[in-house]
Protein backbone atom coordinates (compact mmCIF):
# COMPACT_ATOMS: atom_id res chain seq x y z
CA UNK A 1 0.00 0.00 0.00
CA UNK A 2 1.29 3.46 -0.89
CA UNK A 3 0.58 6.41 1.37
CA UNK A 4 -0.50 9.72 -0.11
CA UNK A 5 -1.84 12.98 1.28
CA UNK A 6 -5.41 11.67 1.36
CA UNK A 7 -4.53 8.44 3.21
CA UNK A 8 -5.75 8.59 6.83
CA UNK A 9 -3.05 7.82 9.35
CA UNK A 10 -3.40 6.85 13.00
CA UNK A 11 -1.64 9.52 15.12
CA UNK A 12 1.17 8.25 17.31
CA UNK A 13 1.29 11.23 19.71
CA UNK A 14 -1.27 11.74 22.49
CA UNK A 15 -1.39 14.99 24.46
CA UNK A 16 -3.17 15.29 27.80
CA UNK A 17 -3.80 18.62 29.51
CA UNK A 18 -5.00 17.97 33.08
CA UNK A 19 -7.36 15.12 32.18
CA UNK A 20 -8.97 12.97 34.85
CA UNK A 21 -7.81 9.38 34.63
CA UNK A 22 -11.03 8.00 33.09
CA UNK A 23 -10.94 10.63 30.32
CA UNK A 24 -7.25 9.97 29.76
CA UNK A 25 -7.92 6.22 29.59
CA UNK A 26 -10.63 6.69 26.97
CA UNK A 27 -8.32 8.91 24.89
CA UNK A 28 -5.43 6.44 25.24
CA UNK A 29 -7.67 3.54 24.11
CA UNK A 30 -8.83 5.52 21.08
CA UNK A 31 -5.24 6.16 20.03
CA UNK A 32 -3.51 2.90 20.92
CA UNK A 33 -6.20 0.34 21.75
CA UNK A 34 -7.15 -0.91 25.19
CA UNK A 35 -3.72 -2.26 26.12
CA UNK A 36 -4.64 -2.46 29.82
CA UNK A 37 -8.10 -4.03 29.62
CA UNK A 38 -7.29 -6.54 32.36
CA UNK A 39 -5.80 -3.91 34.68
CA UNK A 40 -7.94 -2.35 37.44
CA UNK A 41 -8.78 1.27 36.53
CA UNK A 42 -6.88 4.20 38.01
CA UNK A 43 -8.93 6.16 40.61
CA UNK A 44 -11.01 8.80 38.83
CA UNK A 45 -9.66 11.66 40.99
CA UNK A 46 -6.13 11.25 39.55
CA UNK A 47 -5.24 14.03 37.08
CA UNK A 48 -2.86 13.19 34.23
CA UNK A 49 -0.94 15.63 32.05
CA UNK A 50 1.77 15.15 29.49
CA UNK A 51 2.66 13.57 26.16
CA UNK A 52 2.70 9.88 25.18
CA UNK A 53 3.86 8.46 21.85
CA UNK A 54 4.04 4.90 20.55
CA UNK A 55 5.36 3.44 17.30
CA UNK A 56 6.23 -0.17 16.40
CA UNK A 57 7.20 -1.51 19.80
CA UNK A 58 8.73 1.69 21.21
CA UNK A 59 6.87 4.15 23.44
CA UNK A 60 8.16 7.48 24.77
CA UNK A 61 6.56 9.87 27.22
CA UNK A 62 6.79 12.98 29.37
CA UNK A 63 4.09 12.57 32.03
CA UNK A 64 2.86 14.17 35.27
CA UNK A 65 0.43 12.40 37.63
CA UNK A 66 -1.34 14.39 40.36
CA UNK A 67 -2.22 12.06 43.20
CA UNK A 68 -0.97 8.77 44.64
CA UNK A 69 -2.13 5.51 43.05
CA UNK A 70 -1.11 1.98 42.05
CA UNK A 71 -1.26 0.07 38.76
CA UNK A 72 -1.31 -3.74 38.61
CA UNK A 73 0.08 -5.78 35.70
CA UNK A 74 -1.70 -9.15 35.43
CA UNK A 75 0.41 -10.31 32.46
CA UNK A 76 4.18 -9.98 31.88
CA UNK A 77 5.29 -7.80 28.98
CA UNK A 78 8.41 -8.36 26.88
CA UNK A 79 9.63 -4.77 27.25
CA UNK A 80 12.28 -2.82 29.12
CA UNK A 81 11.04 0.42 30.66
CA UNK A 82 13.49 3.28 31.27
CA UNK A 83 12.34 5.93 33.75
CA UNK A 84 13.92 9.35 34.37
CA UNK A 85 11.93 10.85 37.28
CA UNK A 86 11.60 14.64 37.46
CA UNK A 87 9.26 14.92 40.49
CA UNK A 88 7.86 12.69 43.22
CA UNK A 89 8.63 8.96 43.33
CA UNK A 90 7.74 5.76 41.46
CA UNK A 91 7.98 2.27 42.94
CA UNK A 92 8.09 -0.96 40.93
CA UNK A 93 7.26 -4.27 42.60
CA UNK A 94 9.00 -7.27 40.99
CA UNK A 95 11.40 -9.80 42.52
CA UNK A 96 12.39 -6.94 44.82
CA UNK A 97 11.43 -3.25 44.91
CA UNK A 98 12.89 -0.45 42.81
CA UNK A 99 12.28 3.20 43.69
CA UNK A 100 12.95 6.03 41.27
CA UNK A 101 13.30 9.64 42.41
CA UNK A 102 14.54 12.88 40.85
CA UNK A 103 18.20 11.76 41.02
CA UNK A 104 17.74 8.00 40.43
CA UNK A 105 16.79 6.53 37.05
CA UNK A 106 15.45 3.01 36.64
CA UNK A 107 15.63 0.31 33.97
CA UNK A 108 12.86 -2.22 34.62
CA UNK A 109 12.26 -5.54 32.87
CA UNK A 110 8.46 -5.55 32.51
CA UNK A 111 8.44 -9.34 32.31
CA UNK A 112 9.09 -9.25 36.07
CA UNK A 113 6.77 -6.41 37.10
CA UNK A 114 3.64 -7.17 39.09
CA UNK A 115 2.66 -3.61 40.03
CA UNK A 116 3.90 -0.05 40.29
CA UNK A 117 2.94 2.86 42.52
CA UNK A 118 3.15 6.63 41.98
CA UNK A 119 3.82 8.95 44.95
CA UNK A 120 3.98 12.67 45.64
CA UNK A 121 2.64 13.93 42.27
CA UNK A 122 5.15 11.89 40.33
CA UNK A 123 6.45 13.09 36.96
CA UNK A 124 8.96 11.49 34.64
CA UNK A 125 10.46 11.23 31.19
CA UNK A 126 10.56 7.66 29.98
CA UNK A 127 10.48 5.09 27.23
CA UNK A 128 9.62 1.42 26.86
CA UNK A 129 11.27 -0.74 24.21
CA UNK A 130 10.45 -4.27 23.09
CA UNK A 131 13.30 -6.56 24.14
CA UNK A 132 13.53 -8.21 20.72
CA UNK A 133 14.06 -4.81 19.06
CA UNK A 134 16.90 -4.01 21.46
CA UNK A 135 18.50 -7.39 20.73
CA UNK A 136 18.01 -7.04 16.98
CA UNK A 137 19.57 -3.56 16.91
CA UNK A 138 22.50 -4.60 19.10
CA UNK A 139 23.09 -7.55 16.78
CA UNK A 140 23.21 -5.18 13.80
CA UNK A 141 25.60 -2.79 15.58
CA UNK A 142 27.98 -5.58 16.59
CA UNK A 143 27.47 -7.51 13.34
CA UNK A 144 26.89 -10.82 15.12
CA UNK A 145 23.98 -12.72 16.68
CA UNK A 146 23.14 -11.83 20.28
CA UNK A 147 22.02 -14.80 22.31
CA UNK A 148 22.96 -13.64 25.82
CA UNK A 149 20.13 -11.69 27.44
CA UNK A 150 20.76 -7.92 27.51
CA UNK A 151 20.86 -6.86 31.17
CA UNK A 152 20.62 -3.11 31.81
CA UNK A 153 21.94 -1.56 35.01
CA UNK A 154 18.76 -1.37 37.14
CA UNK A 155 19.42 2.06 38.71
CA UNK A 156 21.61 4.95 37.60
CA UNK A 157 22.72 8.37 38.81
CA UNK A 158 20.85 10.88 36.68
CA UNK A 159 23.51 13.56 37.22
CA UNK A 160 25.53 11.95 34.42
CA UNK A 161 25.50 13.96 31.17
CA UNK A 162 24.54 10.82 29.23
CA UNK A 163 21.16 10.62 30.97
CA UNK A 164 20.58 14.32 30.55
CA UNK A 165 21.08 13.66 26.84
CA UNK A 166 18.40 10.94 26.94
CA UNK A 167 16.03 13.33 28.68
CA UNK A 168 16.71 16.00 26.05
CA UNK A 169 15.95 13.50 23.27
CA UNK A 170 12.59 12.68 24.86
CA UNK A 171 11.91 16.42 25.20
CA UNK A 172 12.54 16.75 21.48
CA UNK A 173 10.30 13.78 20.62
CA UNK A 174 7.44 15.06 22.76
CA UNK A 175 7.73 18.72 21.74
CA UNK A 176 4.91 20.30 19.72
CA UNK A 177 7.34 21.12 16.89
CA UNK A 178 7.53 17.41 16.01
CA UNK A 179 3.80 16.67 15.99
CA UNK A 180 3.12 17.19 12.29
CA UNK A 181 6.10 15.12 11.16
CA UNK A 182 5.36 12.29 13.58
CA UNK A 183 1.59 12.13 13.15
CA UNK A 184 1.42 12.55 9.39
CA UNK A 185 4.87 11.57 8.12
CA UNK A 186 6.03 8.09 7.18
CA UNK A 187 9.80 8.36 7.68
CA UNK A 188 10.20 10.34 10.90
CA UNK A 189 8.40 7.89 13.24
CA UNK A 190 10.77 5.09 12.20
CA UNK A 191 13.82 7.36 12.43
CA UNK A 192 12.78 8.52 15.89
CA UNK A 193 12.25 4.92 17.02
CA UNK A 194 15.78 4.04 15.84
CA UNK A 195 17.24 7.10 17.60
CA UNK A 196 15.61 6.17 20.90
CA UNK A 197 16.84 2.57 20.71
CA UNK A 198 20.39 3.66 19.80
CA UNK A 199 20.44 6.31 22.55
CA UNK A 200 19.47 3.76 25.21
CA UNK A 201 22.00 1.19 24.01
CA UNK A 202 24.75 3.82 24.03
CA UNK A 203 23.89 5.77 27.21
CA UNK A 204 22.37 3.26 29.65
CA UNK A 205 24.97 0.78 31.03
CA UNK A 206 24.42 -2.89 30.17
CA UNK A 207 26.41 -6.09 29.81
CA UNK A 208 27.35 -5.29 26.17
CA UNK A 209 28.37 -1.64 26.77
CA UNK A 210 32.10 -2.35 26.80
CA UNK A 211 31.94 -4.34 23.56
CA UNK A 212 29.81 -1.64 21.93
CA UNK A 213 32.38 1.05 22.80
CA UNK A 214 35.33 -0.86 21.37
CA UNK A 215 36.84 0.34 18.10
CA UNK A 216 35.58 -1.39 14.98
CA UNK A 217 37.23 -4.82 14.71
CA UNK A 218 39.82 -5.64 12.12
CA UNK A 219 38.41 -6.85 8.83
CA UNK A 220 38.16 -10.63 8.97
CA UNK A 221 40.16 -12.55 6.37
CA UNK A 222 38.37 -14.20 3.48
CA UNK A 223 38.40 -17.73 4.92
CA UNK A 224 36.64 -16.55 8.13
CA UNK A 225 34.06 -14.59 6.11
CA UNK A 226 33.33 -17.64 3.97
CA UNK A 227 32.73 -19.82 7.02
CA UNK A 228 30.57 -17.17 8.73
CA UNK A 229 28.48 -16.68 5.59
CA UNK A 230 27.96 -20.43 5.24
CA UNK A 231 26.84 -20.80 8.88
CA UNK A 232 24.43 -17.88 8.55
CA UNK A 233 23.01 -19.15 5.25
CA UNK A 234 22.61 -22.75 6.47
CA UNK A 235 21.89 -22.65 10.23
CA UNK A 236 19.93 -25.89 10.00
CA UNK A 237 22.83 -27.81 8.47
CA UNK A 238 25.23 -29.34 11.02
CA UNK A 239 28.77 -28.95 9.75
CA UNK A 240 32.04 -29.68 11.52
CA UNK A 241 35.05 -27.44 11.83
CA UNK A 242 36.92 -29.80 9.50
CA UNK A 243 34.28 -29.41 6.79
CA UNK A 244 34.15 -25.63 7.20
CA UNK A 245 37.94 -25.46 6.94
CA UNK A 246 37.87 -27.54 3.76
CA UNK A 247 35.21 -25.27 2.20
CA UNK A 248 37.25 -22.21 3.25
CA UNK A 249 40.49 -23.68 1.84
CA UNK A 250 42.50 -23.43 5.06
CA UNK A 251 43.50 -25.77 7.85
CA UNK A 252 41.12 -26.37 10.74
CA UNK A 253 43.60 -24.76 13.12
CA UNK A 254 43.83 -21.61 10.98
CA UNK A 255 40.04 -21.33 10.86
CA UNK A 256 39.68 -21.85 14.61
CA UNK A 257 42.27 -19.15 15.30
CA UNK A 258 40.53 -16.82 12.84
CA UNK A 259 37.19 -17.27 14.62
CA UNK A 260 38.69 -16.58 18.04
CA UNK A 261 40.45 -13.44 16.81
CA UNK A 262 37.86 -11.92 14.48
CA UNK A 263 34.53 -13.37 15.69
CA UNK A 264 35.44 -13.49 19.36
CA UNK A 265 34.38 -17.10 19.99
CA UNK A 266 34.88 -20.66 18.83
CA UNK A 267 33.29 -22.09 15.69
CA UNK A 268 30.92 -24.25 17.75
CA UNK A 269 29.84 -21.31 19.94
CA UNK A 270 29.15 -19.16 16.88
CA UNK A 271 27.10 -21.92 15.23
CA UNK A 272 25.00 -22.22 18.38
CA UNK A 273 24.51 -18.44 18.54
CA UNK A 274 23.21 -18.33 14.98
CA UNK A 275 20.90 -21.31 15.46
CA UNK A 276 19.47 -19.93 18.71
CA UNK A 277 18.88 -16.52 17.14
CA UNK A 278 17.03 -18.12 14.22
CA UNK A 279 15.02 -20.22 16.68
CA UNK A 280 13.98 -17.07 18.57
CA UNK A 281 12.93 -15.38 15.32
CA UNK A 282 10.90 -18.43 14.30
CA UNK A 283 9.17 -18.88 17.65
CA UNK A 284 8.43 -15.14 17.96
CA UNK A 285 6.14 -15.34 14.93
CA UNK A 286 2.43 -15.81 15.44
CA UNK A 287 1.23 -19.29 14.45
CA UNK A 288 4.81 -20.56 14.51
CA UNK A 289 5.76 -24.22 14.47
CA UNK A 290 6.05 -26.10 17.75
CA UNK A 291 9.13 -25.84 19.94
CA UNK A 292 10.12 -29.39 19.01
CA UNK A 293 9.73 -28.74 15.28
CA UNK A 294 11.83 -25.57 15.42
CA UNK A 295 14.52 -27.22 17.54
CA UNK A 296 14.85 -30.23 15.25
CA UNK A 297 14.78 -28.10 12.10
CA UNK A 298 17.73 -26.08 13.40
CA UNK A 299 19.80 -29.13 14.28
CA UNK A 300 19.09 -29.45 18.02
CA UNK A 301 18.45 -33.17 18.43
CA UNK A 302 17.88 -32.86 22.19
CA UNK A 303 14.87 -30.59 22.75
CA UNK A 304 15.47 -30.40 26.50
CA UNK A 305 19.02 -29.16 26.00
CA UNK A 306 17.80 -26.73 23.33
CA UNK A 307 15.35 -25.27 25.87
CA UNK A 308 18.19 -24.88 28.40
CA UNK A 309 20.38 -23.06 25.86
CA UNK A 310 17.42 -20.86 24.86
CA UNK A 311 16.54 -19.97 28.46
CA UNK A 312 20.15 -19.11 29.23
CA UNK A 313 20.47 -16.93 26.13
CA UNK A 314 17.19 -15.01 26.21
CA UNK A 315 15.99 -15.24 29.82
CA UNK A 316 12.77 -16.92 28.73
CA UNK A 317 11.97 -20.49 27.74
CA UNK A 318 10.76 -21.32 24.20
CA UNK A 319 7.35 -22.27 25.59
CA UNK A 320 7.06 -18.99 27.52
CA UNK A 321 7.94 -17.00 24.40
CA UNK A 322 5.21 -18.73 22.40
CA UNK A 323 2.64 -18.26 25.17
CA UNK A 324 3.10 -14.47 25.07
CA UNK A 325 2.07 -14.20 21.42
Q: Tens of pLDDT along 179-194? A: 777 766 667 788 888 9
Question: Among the residues of the chain, which ranges form H helices?
Answer: 21-32, 131-142, 161-174, 179-184, 188-203, 209-213, 222-233, 241-248, 252-258, 267-283, 291-297, 303-314, 318-323
Options 3.40.50.300, 2.60.40.1220, 1.20.1250.40, 2.60.120.10; CATH of 13-211: 2.60.120.10
Bridge partner list, 79: 130
Class of domain 222-323: mainly alpha
Between CA 85 and CA 83 the distance in angstroms is 6
pLDDT of 1 > 50? The answer is no
The DSSP output letter for 164 is: H
Do 285 and 318 contact (CB within 8 A), yes or no?
Answer: no
pLDDT digits (tens, 9 = 90+) for 143-174: 777 878 899 999 999 988 888 889 999 998 89
pLDDT digits (tens, 9 = 90+) for 262-300: 888 899 999 999 999 899 889 988 787 899 999 999 999
The dihedral through the CA atoms of 89, 201, 127, 113 has a sign that is: negative
Q: What is the pTM of this model?
A: 0.72
What values do phi and psi take at 323, rounded to 5?
Answer: -70, -20
CA distances from 202 to 12, 55, 195, 325 (A): 25, 21, 10, 29
Domain residue spans of the chain? 13-211, 222-323
Amino acid sequence: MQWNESTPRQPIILRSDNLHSDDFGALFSRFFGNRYADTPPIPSNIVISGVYGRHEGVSFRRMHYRGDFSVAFPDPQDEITFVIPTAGKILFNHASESIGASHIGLAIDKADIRSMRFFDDHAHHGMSINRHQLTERLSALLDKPIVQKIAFQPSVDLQSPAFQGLKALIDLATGTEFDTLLNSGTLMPSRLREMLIDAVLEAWPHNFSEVLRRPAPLVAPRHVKLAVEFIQAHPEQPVSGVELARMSHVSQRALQEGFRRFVGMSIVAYQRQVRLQRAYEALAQRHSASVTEVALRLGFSNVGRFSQYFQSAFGVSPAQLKSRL
